[in-house]
Amino acid sequence: MDRREFTKLSALALAGTYLPIDAYGAANKQIGYAAVGLGTISDIFMRACANSPTAKITALVTGHPETKGVKYSEMYGVPKTSIYTYETFDRIRENADVDAIYVGLPNSMHCDYTVRGAQAGKHVLCEKPMAISSAECRKMIDACGQAKVKLMIGYRVQYEPMWNQAIGIVRSGGLGQLESFQGGFFGQQPAGAWRLSKALGGGGALLDLGIYPLNAIRHITGEEPANFTAVLATRERSGRFSEVEQSMEWTMKLPSGILASCGCSYGQRGPSSLAINGDSGYLVMESAFNYEGVRLHGEVGGKQIELASTEKHPYQFKIEAEHFADCIRNNKEAATPGEEGLKDMLAIEAIYGAAGAPIA
C-alpha cells in the first residue's frame, strides 16, 4: 500500500486530528503556562513550549526556588518575580501573564493543585492519571466548573498523528468489525522513586503505565469497559515493591462484545504496544505509548501497511500544549477534558477491585 492509498483510507482520521495553529488563524497571543512542579515531565513540557509559537512558560512553581526555579527562569526568560513556592502558589491569581497551569506533580497532588489553580482563575492542564480516586476527579471537575475555567488531562497519545491515522482506519471500517485488543506497557522504576510510594503515586503501574492501553481502547471504541478480571503479582523480594504491586494483567469486555487483555509492570522489560484485531484486518502499534518512534503495521483491505513517525520528542507535548492554548483562545472544550480522566479512574478502580486490591 503506497502513501496515497494509505492517506485516502485514513481520511477520517485526518478530519479529527489536531490542526496547526496557522490553520486556526488566531495566533494573536501566546498562552502563558505556569509549570507546577519542575520534575522530569514538566521539564519535557517546558521544552515543548519553548518551541511553540502559541504557548510559552511564564511562571514556575517549585519547592526549590533558589535552585530549580532560578535555573528554569533563566532558560525560559521567566521573571524572578514569577517564581512561586507551593506555599505562595495562590498568589498566582495576581499574575496576568499566566493563563493556565500545567500540573506535573506526583499523582496524589493533582487534585489539590488543580482545585487551587481553578480557584485562582487559571485554566488547568493536568497530567494523567487525573487523580488517585474517582472522588478526587469529580472534585476537580466541579472546581473548574464553578470557577468557569477549562480542564484538560494530558493524554498526549490522543494527539499523536500516527495514532490518529490508525483510528481513522478503524473507524472507516478498514479492519471490518472490531473483535479484540491486546495491549501492554512495561518498564522499570528504581528503588526510592516517588511512583513506588503509595502516598505519592496512589497505586502501582496501572495508574502510570496501564492507563495507556486502557485509555487507547476506550478512545478507539468509544465504549466504557466492564466485566473485568485482574491479577497482580510481586515476585521481587528486595522490598522495592513493598507499597505497590510490581506487575498486573487484566481483561475486560466492552458492551459491544469486544474483548481486551492488557498488562503493565514497574519491574520488567517488555513492549509498548497495542494490537487491534478485526474480522477482516488488523493493526499493531509499536512503541505505541513512547514519546517518539511510533510505528504502525498490519493488514488493511487485504494489503500490508507499514508506517513510522519521524517526528522528534517532545512533539507530542507541543501538540498537546498548543491544542489547549487554542481551546483557551477560542473558548472551546479540550479533546481530553476532565470527564475523560474520570472515566479512566472508574475503570482503574474496577480493575483493582477485580484483583482483590481496592485502590482506596
CATH number at residue 232: 3.30.360.10
Q: Which residue has the higher pLDDT, 4 or 306?
A: 306
- Within a domain: 242: yes
Q: Report the alpha-carbon distance of residue 326 to residue 332 in Å, rounded.
A: 8
- Within a domain: 278: yes
Q: Does residue 273 contact residue 298 with C-beta atoms inside 8 Å?
A: no
High-pLDDT (> 90) share of the chain, %: 91
Last residue of a domain, one of 154, 187, 220: 154
Q: How far is CA 259 from the centre of its chain?
A: 23
Cis amide bond preceding 337, omega within 30 = no
Domain identity same for 291 and 230: yes
- Within a domain: 14: no
Domain identity same for 303 and 247: yes
pLDDT (tens digit per residue) in 340-351: 999 999 999 999
At residue 24 the predicted structure's pLDDT band, cuts being 50, 70 and 90, is very low
- Is the confidence at residue 82, as pLDDT, over 50? yes
- Within a domain: 36: yes
Domain identity same for 53 and 194: no
Domain identity same for 186 and 79: no
pLDDT of residue 21: 39
pLDDT of residue 360: 62
Last residue of a domain, one of 121, 154, 187: 154
- Is the confidence at residue 60, as pLDDT, over 80? yes
Q: Report the alpha-carbon distance of residue 16 to residue 10 in Å, rounded.
A: 11
Domain with 102, as residue range(s), is 19-154
Domain identity same for 227 and 350: yes
Domain identity same for 124 and 209: no
Using alpha carbons only, how large is the chain's radius of gyration in Å? 20
Domain identity same for 148 and 176: no
Q: How many domains does the chain have?
A: 2
| Three-state secondary structure call for residue 292 | coil
- Is the confidence at residue 8, as pLDDT, over 50? no
Domain identity same for 175 and 246: yes
Q: What's the whole-number mean pLDDT along residues 66-94?
A: 98
Domain identity same for 136 and 188: no
- Within a domain: 320: no
The whole-chain average pLDDT of the chain stands at 93
- Is the confidence at residue 18, as pLDDT, over 60? no
Grid cell for residue 296: 504502525
- Which CATH number characterizes residue 67's domain? 3.40.50.720
Q: What's the whole-number mean pLDDT along residues 271-284?
A: 97
- Is the confidence at residue 5, as pLDDT, over 80? no
Q: Does residue 197 contact residue 277 with C-beta atoms inside 8 Å?
A: no
Query: 159 Cβ partners below 8 Å, 6+ apart?
Result: 17, 18, 316, 319, 320, 323, 335
Domain identity same for 146 and 176: no
pLDDT (tens digit per residue) in 111-161: 999 999 999 999 999 999 999 999 999 999 999 999 999 999 999 999 999
- Within a domain: 10: no
- Within a domain: 3: no
Q: What's the whole-number mean pLDDT along residues 292-301?
A: 97
Domain identity same for 139 and 203: no
**Neighbour count for residue 53 (Cβ, 10 Å):** 12
Q: Any alpha helices (H) in the chain, and if so which ranges?
A: 3-9, 11-16, 21-24, 40-50, 70-76, 110-119, 134-147, 161-171, 198-201, 205, 211-221, 315-330, 338-354
pLDDT of residue 28: 64
- Is the confidence at residue 275, as pLDDT, over 90? yes
Q: What's the whole-number mean pLDDT along residues 86-93?
A: 98
- Within a domain: 9: no
- Is the confidence at residue 256, as pLDDT, over 50? yes
Domain identity same for 128 and 244: no
Last residue of a domain, one of 100, 123, 154: 154
Catalytic residues: 128, 212
pLDDT of residue 29: 82
Which of 145, 148, 151, 143 lies closest to 115 in space, CA to CA?
A: 143
- Is the confidence at residue 23, as pLDDT, over 50? no
> pTM (2 decimals)?
0.92
pLDDT of residue 358: 82
pLDDT of residue 9: 47
Q: Report the alpha-carbon distance of residue 206 to residue 214 in Å, rounded.
A: 9
